[in-house]
A and B are shown apart, each in its own frame.
Chain A
Amino acid sequence: DAGVTQSPTHLIKTRGQQVTLRCSPKSGHDTVSWYQQALGQGPQFIFQYYEEEERQRGNFPDRFSGHQFPNYSSELNVNALLLGDSALYLCASSLGRNYQETQYFGPGTRLLVL
């Protein structure tokens, strides 16, 4: 049973650049959530995708956008990168229209902005 996978593992960008992170959900899951985790902190919710639409968003600026594909995989895009965007980006998948289903996390993408 394939778990949640994310790519790339690590990424280094410079300020002002744009980045795309990718996530494949756990087999059978159709909902993808994205979180940002600063070093030594708990994850912060960015947004959640279900049926290819963003159905909930956290307190993140419009520079953060996403997409979900028909196969349920997802991308997180961040434009105009800032130093403060350096963090571990976690993808989590869950099943179905019930918002409270358990979320299972991927290994994350470590983004460093210089």
Chain B
Amino acid sequence: AQTVTQSQPEMSVQEAETVTLSCTYDTSESNYYLFWYKQPPSRQMILVIRQEAYKQQNATENRFSVNFQKAAKSFSLKISDSQLGDTAMYFCAFIKGSSNTGKLIFGQGTTLQVKP
């Protein structure tokens, strides 16, 4: 069974600084997809970034980038130039790519506080 682990329950960062959120996963699959979702206090879950496992290049989306280490099964999220609006709970999620499943498997989440 696949599992996703986020080992940092809470983190904080000063506005304009850079922060990295950790995520590790366990799977025997070779084809899969990884996601970071953001859930602000208003609770709507928003997609931050998506990474296909078959792509070696790390995904980026403006101030958000990932460090995808397939051999280590690690998928960390880097937020550059942190803004107050980045305060949220961040979830790492996994989905198998090679079988008929639409089930997203989520980690426990990391609460990020951006301080002024």
- Chain A interface residues toward B at CB < 8 A: 31, 33, 35, 40-45, 48, 50, 55-56, 58, 88, 90, 92, 94, 99-100, 102-108
B interface, how many residues as a size bin? 20 to 34
Dominant SS at the A interface? strand
13 A–B contacts from the bound complex (CB under 8 Å): A41-B109, A42-B93, A42-B106, A42-B107, A43-B45, A43-B91, A56-B102, A58-B103, A100-B102, A102-B47, A103-B102, A108-B43, A108-B45
Give complex CA distance A22, B91 in Å: 24
A102 touches B35 (CB 8 A): yes
Contacts of A56 in B (CB 8 A): 100-103
**How many whole Å from B104's CB to the nearest CB in chain A?**
6
Interface string of B16-50 (1 = CB under 8 A from A): 00000000000000000101010000111111001
Flag whether B95 is at the interface (Cβ < 8 A): yes
Judge whether A45 and B104 touch: CB under 8 Å: yes
The answer to whether A104 and B47 have CB atoms under 8 Å apart is yes
Q: Is the CB of A55 within 8 A of B102?
A: yes
The reply to whether A100 and B103 contact each other, CB–CB distance below 8 Å, is no
Q: Which of B33, B44, B50, B96 has the most CB of A within 10 A?
A: B44
Q: How far is the CB of A66 from chain B (nearest CB, A)?
A: 14
- Give min CB distance, A20 to chain B, whole Å: 20
Q: Which residues of B contact A50 (CB under 8 A)?
A: 102
CA–CA, A100 and B101, complex, Å? 8
